[in-house]
C-alpha cells in the first residue's frame, strides 16, 4: 500500500552523517541542519522541502509508471519535475520495462533505441517502433 502513494526509497528516510548533518539520503547534498541543534525531528518530517520526494510514487514518474516492478522498486534516483508537468529521471534505469530486459542482458536496448524519450522537455513513446521491436524480441 505504501508504494501506491509514496516513493519507496525516499519515504520517511533521514540520513545523519558522522558530523551530525541531516540529509534526505546519503546521495543528496542539501543539508537540513545538524542533529545537535534540532529539538524536534517530527517538525523536520513535516517540512515540505525535506519531504517533497516522499510523495512521488513510481506511478507518477515517466518510465517507472510502465514498469512491472514499480510497486517494489527501491531505486535511489531523484525524480525531477518537468516544467510542463510530470516527473522524469536524468539517468536511465538499468531495466527497460518496454522490452522487459535488464542492462547487460542479451538483446537489451536503451530507451532511445526503442523509441522512448523522457527528459526535461518531453515524454514521448513511439508505439509503432516499440511494437516492431517487441515482435522481433518476443515474437508476435
Do 37 and 65 belong together in one domain? no
Do 32 and 71 belong together in one domain? no
**Chain segment 33-59, per-residue pLDDT in tens:** 999 998 888 888 899 999 999 999 999
Range of the structural domain that residue 127 is part of: 61-140
Do 83 and 18 belong together in one domain? no
Q: Which pTM value belongs to this model?
A: 0.89
Per-residue confidence at 8, pLDDT binned at 50, 70, 90? very high
Q: Grid coordinates standing for 6?
A: 509514496
**Average pLDDT for the chain:** 95
**Chain segment 93-126, per-residue pLDDT in tens:** 999 999 999 999 999 999 999 999 999 999 999 9
**Which are the contacts of 139, defined by CB distance < 8 A and separation ≥ 6?**
none
Number of Cβ within 10 Å of residue 54's Cβ equals 19
Do 18 and 80 belong together in one domain? no
Amino acid at each position: 500500500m505504501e508504494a501506491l502513494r509514496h516513493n519507496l526509497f525516499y519515504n520517511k528516510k533521514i540520513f545523519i552523517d558522522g558530523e551530525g548533518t541531516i540529509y534526505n539520503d546519503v546521495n543528496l547534498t542539501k543539508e537540513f541542519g545538524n542533529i545537535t541543534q534540532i529539538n524536534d525531528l517530527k517538525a523536520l518530517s513535516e517540512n515540505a522541502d525535506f519531504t517533497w520526494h516522499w510523495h512521488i510514487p513510481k506511478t507518477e514518474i515517466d518510465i517507472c509508471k510502465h514498469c512491472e516492478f514499480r510497486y517494489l522498486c527501491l531505486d535511489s534516483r531523484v525524480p525531477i519535475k518537468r516544467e510542463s508537468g510530470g516527473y522524469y529521471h536524468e539517468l536511465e534505469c538499468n531495466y527497460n520495462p518496454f522490452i522487459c530486459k535488464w542492462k547487460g542482458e542479451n538483446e537489451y536496448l536503451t530507451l532511445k533505441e526503442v523509441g522512448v524519450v523522457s527528459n526535461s522537455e518531453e515524454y514521448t513513446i513511439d508505439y509503432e517502433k516499440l511494437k516492431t521491436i517487441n515482435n522481433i524480441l518476443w515474437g508476435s
